[in-house]
Amino acid sequence: MPASDIRDFRGSLSNSIEKGVFITTGTFSKYAADEAADPGKKQIDLIDGNELINKMCSLGMGVKTTYAVDKAFFANLDRMM
């Protein structure tokens, strides 16, 4: 995500908004992160794809647990007996 997207987003925020939150399923460039954290401007919190997934999992929002067979366990079962 480029810094220009952060600047455009900041420009769309009204004066009554204290700060913004920008969420992407991708990643933010260093320049975008620097732009969002610029102390002389309205602050913008960034949430990238990894953080979004972690938050969804911790809150149980839109995710469910699935199970898979551990094939390595069963491949070694003969040696265990």
pLDDT one-digit tens code per residue, 2-60: 999 999 999 999 988 889 999 999 999 999 999 999 998 999 999 999 999 999 999 99
Compute the distance between CA of residue 47 and CA of residue 21 in angstroms, rounded to an integer.
7
Parent domain of 28? 3-80
Is the pTM value of this prediction over 0.85?
no
Dihedral of CA atoms 55, 58, 62, 67 in degrees, nearest 10, equals: 130
Number of domains in the chain: 1
